Structure 1
Amino acid sequence: MSSQLRGISARSLEDVLSAVSAAQGDSAETGRGLFGVVSILDSAPALRRVLTDPSTESDAKVKLAESVFGGKVSAGALEVVKAAVAGRWAAGRDLPDGIETAGVVAFVKAAGKGADDVETQLFEAGEIVASDPELRAVVSDRSIPTEPKVTLLGRIFEGKLSAETLALVQQAASARLGSFERVLASFGQVVAEQGQRSVAVARVAYELGDDEKTRLAAALKAKYGRDVHLNIIVDPEVVGGIAVSVGAEVVDGTMSSRLEAARRQLAG
């Protein structure tokens, strides 16, 4: 998501996200419209090339975007798209990638104070899919069109997730930037970034109590210098201790890992 865009694309994304913040109207409708635009751009490489052509004046690209998307998406979504095509992108694919990130942020805006719940629910939905081999196989099968996957996920999670989270889970089914699990995790990172938080995944042997979670979150905040959203995985194979990953950094203090290290040493 946003962290994958570099250089001029990252700078253009900042302007796009500012447009999301300024957009009037229903933020969820803005998000849905932006996801729809992403789908159109993915299926229309010629249009994508024109809208990202650095030799074409920004005003001309904005007018083209208005003619293509005007009346098909909400006014708020159209304003965001206009900001996107007015920017400069290092690669044609960066434009829909940036608009997809903007769509995620629009749903964060729609969630308001419930954004922290969106982070938790995204993680839990990912765990549910990963724990069901048949469901995971269907969602991960690129030969299956996106729409049936969206319908299936809607049936499974309707009423169990907030409307904002469900929209993100269904968008992840398109797996534009990798596997369903990878995209869902990247959406979680975008949600966390909007709250200026990091995301930590803790693998433990038993369900932590509220006090333990509070102490762990405080310790991680002290280490990383910012608030941390904590996701917990209870894994019976963890003999004791705790393994925590924050981004690419993993701190493994479990007894099982120490036993495995000792076994390898003994085996030479």
Structure 2
Amino acid sequence: MNGASREALASAREALNALTDNASVDAAKLAEELAAVTALLDREVSLRRVLTDPAQAGEARAELAGRLLGGQIGGPAVDLVTGMVRSRWSRSRDLADAIEELAYSADLVAAQRAGALDDVEDELFRFGRIIASNGELRRALTDRNATVAAKTELLRSLLGGRANPVSERIVTRLVVQPRGRSLEAGLEALAKLAASRRDRMVAVVTTAVPLSDGQRQRLGAALTTLYGREIHLNLDVDPEVLGGVQVRIGDEVINGTIAERLDKVSQRMAG
């Protein structure tokens, strides 16, 4: 997002945080209702355009949204959406994208309240790795001809009782409402969103063998010192790296693996 949409999203995030600071607000219910609004705006493109039409006064747009949604979703969700509709958006789709982000954020608030945010973050990361390595499973979950019920049942068989309920809800929503994203990209984005709730950066650490607790602590402390922010480690084991460690933080890669060193030697010999 850029311009007006970026500012509108920032205000919406603040509004969500203020709302969910109140423990009486059911964050999980709020998430489901915001997800339903996202699906509505995806289906009704003309409505989305009306609600973001810069030629109409923000208050008029908010009043329309309130009339349409009142009685369909709870008061907190209505307040959030009408507040967002009052804002200016660079593109009509940005409104739906922002409401979707708030839906996932509300689910993460529910996890945080239950003391399970770390578990959810790790489960999203691990499930992303499973998808990346299992082509058959990925095809089953992204098959456009498969019904929502079939995909939901498959995820229930995979995650039910094994993953946190918030993780299961988030993954299920991402699978049945992909909104043009790849499953892997969606899972990675959601893992980062989970990390951002504690203003942490995410480092994807790849090693040939699992790190010990002491190694994880030392690496985490070193990266925290280097970046000046708390770093959450998502650990991945890949025997092909041979040894050493590869750390990816956003677009930056710190590569100290034996495989990478051998590649450089081969390149010099070929040159």
* TM-score, normalised relative to structure 2: 0.92
Displacement of 1:111: 1.2
User: What secondary structure does 1:55 align onto?
Assistant: coil
**Aligned-partner Cα distance in 2 for 1:249–1:219:** 16
Counterpart residue type for residue 202 of structure 1: V
Structure 1 residue 59: deviation in Å?
Answer: 1.5
Shift of 1:144: 4.2
Partner of 2:255 in structure 1? 252
Q: What residue ranges of structure 1 are gaps of 5+ in the alignment? A: none
Partner of 1:33: 33
1:180 match: 183
Change (3 A) 1:222 1:260: same
Cα distance in 2 between the residues matched to 1:151 and 1:102: 26
Distance (whole Å) between structure 2 residues aligned to residue 141 and residue 87 of structure 1:
36
Aligned residue in 1 for 2:42: 42
Residue type matched to 2:106 in 1?
A
Q: Which residue of 2 aligns with 1:98?
A: 98
Counterpart in the other structure of 2:79 = 79
CA distance, structure 1, for counterparts of residue 195 and residue 48 of structure 2: 29
* Count of matched residue positions in the alignment of Structure 1 and Structure 2: 264
- Deviation readout 1:148-206 (Å, 9 max, x if unpaired): 43342233111122122212111221222520110111111111112100111000011
For residues 17 and 150 of structure 1, the distance between their equivalents in structure 2, rounded to whole angstroms, comes to 29
CA 1:212–1:184: 2 relative to 1, 3 Å: same
SS at the partner of 1:237? Answer: helix
Judged with a 3 Å threshold, the aligned counterparts in structure 2 of structure 1 residues 8 and 244 are, in CA distance, closer, same or farther, namely same
Task: Give the distance between the partners of 2:69 and 2:157, measured in 1 at CA.
Answer: 30
Corresponding residue number in structure 2 for 1:261: 264
C-alpha change, 1:147 and 1:74, in structure 2 (3 Å) is farther
Q: What is the percent sequence identity of the aligned residues?
A: 37
Return the offset for 1:147: 5.3
1:149 equivalent to 2:151? Answer: yes
In the aligned structure 2, how far is the partner of 1:218 from the partner of 1:236? Answer: 25
Hey, what's the Cα distance between the residues in 2 that align with 1:132 and 1:75?
42
CA distance in 2, matches of 1:37, 1:147: 20
Given that 1:15 and 1:83 are in contact with CA atoms closer than 8 Å, whether structure 2 keeps it comes out as no
Determine helix, strand or coil for the equivalent of 1:121: helix
Cα separation, partners in 2 of 1:26 and 1:197, compared to 1, 3 Å: same
Query: How far, CA to CA, are the matches of 1:42 and 1:150 in structure 2?
Result: 20
Match of residue 135, structure 1, among 134, 137, 152: 137
Q: Which residue of 2 aligns with 1:163?
A: 165
Helix, strand or coil: the match of 1:16? helix
1:250 to 1:146, Cα distance in 2 relative to 1, 3 A: farther
> TM-score when scaled to structure 1?
0.93
Q: Deviations over 1:206-227 (max 9, x none)?
A: 1111111111111111111111
**Which of 9, 13, 24 is the matching residue for 1:13?**
9
In angstroms, what is the RMSD of aligned CA positions? 1.6
Unaligned runs of 5+ in 2: none
1:117 aligns with 119
How far did 1:129 drift?
2.0
Q: Which residue of 2 aligns with 1:221?
A: 224
Q: Which amino acid aligns with 1:116?
A: D
* Matched residue type, 1:131: S
Quote the Cα distance in structure 2 between the aligned partners of 1:59 and 1:15: 16
**TM-aligned CA distance change 1:43 to 1:133, over 3 Å:** same
